[in-house]
Amino acid sequence: MSHLAKLLASSNNKFATLLNESKIDPIRLLAASHPIESLRHEDKQIKREKKAAAGKDDEAAKAARSKKPRTGRPVTERLVTDALAGKAVSGPAKTRLLRAFNAVRAQKKLAAVELKQLF
């Protein structure tokens, strides 16, 4: 039994309850998050376009600024530990946890959840 699984068994917040109901091991969130959040060629292209559009005010520049690249930061063990313990978690970190959680639920053929259900 891993450290995260032991913490999950002793936690009783919304996040831990939903993990238990879905029968998802917290380590699977770490594994699912890496391919979702890792930077790809498109993300680097978006960053280049944003840099080139800086200071310009035409439609192409507005379109380039509206796109958002991935962060390149996957869910970490510390983040899952803090979420299970009920500590404060930042908004972007909650979103990363949500994407990883929904990816694992999709593998199990379960419906996706919203952020308000998870936290």
Domain residue ranges in the chain: 1-37+75-119, 39-73
The model's pTM: 0.80
Q: Is the dihedral of CA 27, 28, 29, 31 positive or negative?
A: positive
Helix then strand then coil, % of the chain, to nearest 5? 65, 0, 35
Closest CA to 94 of 117, 66, 112: 117
pLDDT in tens, 70-112: 888 999 999 999 999 999 999 999 999 999 999 999 999 999 9
Give the pLDDT score at 56: 83
The neighbour count for residue 26, using CB atoms within 10 Å, is 25
- Average pLDDT in the chain: 89
- Which amino acid does the sequence have at 50? K
61 compared with 36, residue with greater pLDDT? 36
Q: Find the mean pLDDT for residues 57-74.
A: 82
C-alpha 32 chain-centroid distance: 9
Q: Find the mean pLDDT for residues 59-68.
A: 80
Work out the end-to-end distance of the chain between its first and last CA atoms, rounded to an integer number of angstroms: 25
- For residues 97 and 118, give the distance between their C-alpha atoms in angstroms, rounded to a whole number: 9
> How sure is the predictor about 1, in pLDDT bands with cuts at 50, 70 and 90?
low
Which helix (DSSP H) or strand (DSSP E) does residue 33 occupy? Answer: helix 26-37
